[in-house]
Structure 1
Amino acid sequence: MPSASAIRHRSDVPTGPSSPQDTGAPVPAGTPPVQGGAAFGRRLSVSLRVLPPVVVMALAFVYPLALVVQQSFTPDEGGASLAPYSEVFASESFRSALATTVWLALGSTAGCLVLGFVLALVIAFVPFPGAKAVARFIDVFLSFPSFLITLALLFVYGTAGMANGIWTGATGASDGPFHFLTTPWGVLLAEITYFTPFVMRPLLAAFSQIDTAQLEAASSLGARPARIVRRLILPEALPALAAGGSLVLVMCLNEFGIVLFTGAKGVTTLPMLVYSKAILESDYPAACVVAVVNVVISVGLYGVYRGVSRRAGA
């Protein structure tokens, strides 16, 4: 028989794990994990970091947008009504502005895609002096305001611009032949000029990822340049074309400065209609209705682009 002192000595020494997790015993339901406090602290820290930008976005964007939507349902007589929407949708000016906005946006996007793809091909694959400087200039061009490009076109093709000045100086005529800037074609030219670099930038980034060895191998096997572009370059450029084209389309739908600075008479887009309703006519409910329609179209196009790109795996 062991002595009492030996038994007391053995009982003071820990002989096994001190928690059910260490013994493998089942843990009672509802027992919190050992690291629960640390995980909660990390989640709280992440929430505190995310909260300030969410609050800023809500105050700077969501709240003003909510006020615009609210005003669109509030006629001048007070109360809540759909009368502003019915009046705006029934007006000829709104339908004309919507059609003008859509065809200008589609035409500008198509022109930017074609011109941007050709120029990006030349810069990326045709060696010429100053190609890197041109690529850097495109990055700088993206920071220019749209009205600056329009003013440049006015200095060249305006009524008192360089082209008309050269014409009148050479022929002795009292007026030059260039007056297209005040027409929808002038707005189309200005938008294509300004928005083409927004297509070229993602294309140049996509072209920089193409293995030139494949192009050289295809050329050595006798493939013509058009076939190389169609079979090798264009498939790699399609995601960049889709991204740049969707961006240009949305920006053209909301462009205001180019249309205003060209002074094109009879060219009224949805942003110009918002300006005329709010500033010139002081019809704020109608202006908010047009603004809501413009926002819905832009967000809808963005949603379509996201859905198509997700299905295509882009």
Structure 2
Amino acid sequence: MSSLSTPDTSAALGAANAAADARRSASAAAHTAAVKRRERAAQWHLLFLAVVVLGPLVVYPLVRLVMLSLTGAHGPSVHAYASFFGNPETRGVIGTTLWILFASAGLASLLGVALASILFFKPFPGARLITRFLELFVAFPSFLVAFTLIFLYGSQGSVSIGLQRLFNLQAPPLDFLFGVGGVILAEVVFYAPFVVRPTLASFALLDRRLIEAARSLGASGTMVAFKVILPLAWPGIAAGTILCFLLTLNEFGILLVLGSAHLITLPVAIYSAATVDLDLPTAAAGAVVMLMMSLSLYALYRQVNRRKVKGAGHGR
């Protein structure tokens, strides 16, 4: 049998194996090249779709907005910005906008963190259902919340009428809805769920052993919350809070329903300049200012969210 294994046979087998390996390598290289070509083609298709869709729907309107804000009666000009910032009422409008922004977004953030803490650390029957409802709540348009509050706390709302009949009052006792109080209440109710979801996600990433270790060392519940839980979950809480500020800054539906003639914020002023005064350059200048504020908040949100993801990766 050993006579069958000759040097020529071994060389032939080696050559055949080498040829087979070469074919497999060539096939693998061809497959890899084909996959890369398909990926590049898919990327080009996505880029083409992005240009075709985002170009006319997003980029072109923004470019036109900026150009309109820089257009005067006799060519390029910053007169629209001078008119916007030179208006004596602009300072009051910006002050009102910031006051409502910080009051609404701040209270909504506190309420969102509190709700997330209860739902995560103190689960009760129905907590999962409430969580799902809060997740669904963010899909509602904001003006529905405003109308709901009118049906409850308006002059003919069920709560107002109930209190009036209960205490035999001559008029409905609740008269706060159409003004700053009503706008802040509606925005807090509507935007608090936007903070709940990222806060719950941050709580889910916590190392429960750290919490148990703090409790075993005698730390009180308040100390555990402020010294362990909140610092560890802060990136998610901060991301939700900044998102809440961003959305509240651009809120218009609630203001349109519950606002009064004396409650003018930046979105309302821009809308009024464009539709009532027909001063499109000044409205465009205000819109550009508001766009810069929104982009600044969005950049901050992205930065915090990036740190959150990086921290979660290091944690694992």
Q: TM-score range by the shorter chain?
A: 0.7 to 0.9
Aligned-residue offset at 1:106: 1.5
Aligned to 2:71: 74
2:258 matches 1:274: no
2:51 partner amino acid: V
Per-residue CA shift, 1:263-296, capped at 9, x if unaligned?
Answer: 3331111111111111122221121111111101
CA distance in structure 2 between the aligned counterparts of 1:191 and 1:143, rounded to whole angstroms: 14
Aligned to 2:105: 109
- Asked whether the 8 Å contact 2:206–2:233 carries over to 1, the reply is no
1:61 partner amino acid: V
Q: How does 1:207-218 map to 2 (within 5 A)?
A: 207-218=203-214
2:211 partner amino acid: L
2:54 matches 1:53: no
One of 201, 206, 226 as aligned partner of 2:202: 206
2:250 matches 1:285: no
TM-score scaled to structure 1, two decimals? 0.81
- Asked whether the 8 Å contact 1:191–1:258 carries over to 2, the reply is yes
CA separation of 1:161 and 1:211: change in aligned 2, threshold 3 A = same
CA distance in structure 1 between the aligned counterparts of 2:201 and 2:211, rounded to whole angstroms: 17
The higher radius of gyration belongs to 1
SS in 2 for 1:181: coil
CA distance in structure 1 between the aligned counterparts of 2:150 and 2:137, rounded to whole angstroms: 18
TM-score scaled to structure 2, two decimals? 0.81
2:192 matches 1:188: no
SS in 1 for 2:177: helix
CA distance in structure 2 between the aligned counterparts of 1:262 and 1:40, rounded to whole angstroms: 56
Aligned to 2:16: none
Q: Which is helix-richer, 1 or 2?
A: 2
Q: CA RMSD in A?
A: 2.7
Query: Which consecutive unaligned segments of at least 5 residues does structure 1 have?
Result: 1-33
2:62 matches 1:65: yes
2:230 matches 1:234: yes
CA distance in structure 2 between the aligned counterparts of 1:286 and 1:49, rounded to whole angstroms: 36
CA distance in structure 1 between the aligned counterparts of 2:215 and 2:114, rounded to whole angstroms: 19
Aligned-residue offset at 1:241: 1.0
CA separation of 1:116 and 1:58: change in aligned 2, threshold 3 A = same
How many residues are paired up? 283
Aligned-residue offset at 1:311: 7.7
CA distance in structure 2 between the aligned counterparts of 1:206 and 1:258, rounded to whole angstroms: 30
SS in 2 for 1:128: coil
1:210 partner amino acid: L
SS in 2 for 1:179: coil
Query: Which consecutive unaligned segments of at least 5 residues does structure 2 have?
Result: 1-29, 312-316
